[in-house]
Amino acid sequence: MQSQEVGHPLLDNGLRETHGVNAANALMRELSITYEGDSLRIGNAIQENMTTFDSAFERSIAPTLEALGFVRSNDYFRLDGQLQQFRDKTGATFSARPDWHHVELDLYVETKSGTLNCKTTVKTAASAEARARRDCSLRGQPFGTYHMLQNQFSHSRYKQAAVQSALTPQNMIVVFAERVPYATMIAYAKVGLVAIHLDALPQYLQYIRFARRGLPVQWNLPYPEESATFVL
């Protein structure tokens, strides 16, 4: 297997941003950093399958999900080997990439740290994001995480509901870091989205295990303070 001096985008780009291209290449040579396929070699040590995360939140919950048997998903949903296309309510198509995959149960998980926005279509989200970026630029402010959560279609309840509708909640579930307020859960349910919180995920996995075996089981997410239960 042939080694090359540069090749891992995160490490290469990070070094180049902080040191410049020439200095970065020199530093990589000094540290004996090379690549063999997807593996990183530093001297004689090899680190396999470097996991990347989209946010600090995703990195923080990784140990919990890995302990439950999930692995990081770095590919988009596919159907018969082809990139799977989903549709918003206007018929516009989009693709989607889950955060985690439970290989044994073939269950995908999308993790979220905050309330999903109400952008209904790919177009309305793109327009809202463009306006937000323009406003940030005029104010001399960065377009940060807050603006992404408020405007991007990837953080829309309608997008997640469309994906889940095509795949079913037994194959793709949205998991929030904290328990979702009851009123918000009602709002999600009204657009067809089934969601749970991280602490409920182990029990949800048990439900999926029984369902995969064809047993007649149901999933209950109780809200005792509201004398209510969400049933799947």
DSSP 102-115: ETTTTEEEEEESS-
Q: Are residues 135 and 181 in the same domain?
A: no
- What is the model's pLDDT at position 43? 44
Q: Are residues 137 and 166 in the same domain?
A: no
176 by DSSP, 3-state: which?
Answer: strand
pTM given for the model: 0.76
Has residue 3 been placed in a domain? Answer: no
Q: Are residues 90 and 137 in the same domain?
A: no
Query: 43 near 32, Cβ under 8 Å?
Result: yes
Mean of the per-residue pLDDT values for the chain?
84
Output DSSP code: residue 39: E
- What is the model's pLDDT at position 1? 39
Has residue 1 been placed in a domain? Answer: no
Give the gyration radius of the chain's Cα atoms: 21
199-229 burial code (b ≥16 CB/10 A, e <16): ebbeebbebbeebeeeeeeebebeeeeeeee
The dihedrals phi and psi of 172, each to the nearest 5 degrees, come to -150, 125
Q: Are residues 42 and 107 in the same domain?
A: no
Domain endpoint, select from 107, 138, 154: 154
Query: How many separate domains does the chain show?
Result: 3
Enclosing domain of residue 145:
118-154
Q: Mind listing the pLDDT tens digit for each residue in 80-122?
A: 999 999 999 999 999 999 999 999 999 999 999 999 999 999 9
Which of 180, 134, 127 has the alpha carbon at shortest distance from 151? 127
Per-residue pLDDT at 49 exceeds 80: no
Q: Are residues 122 and 34 in the same domain?
A: no
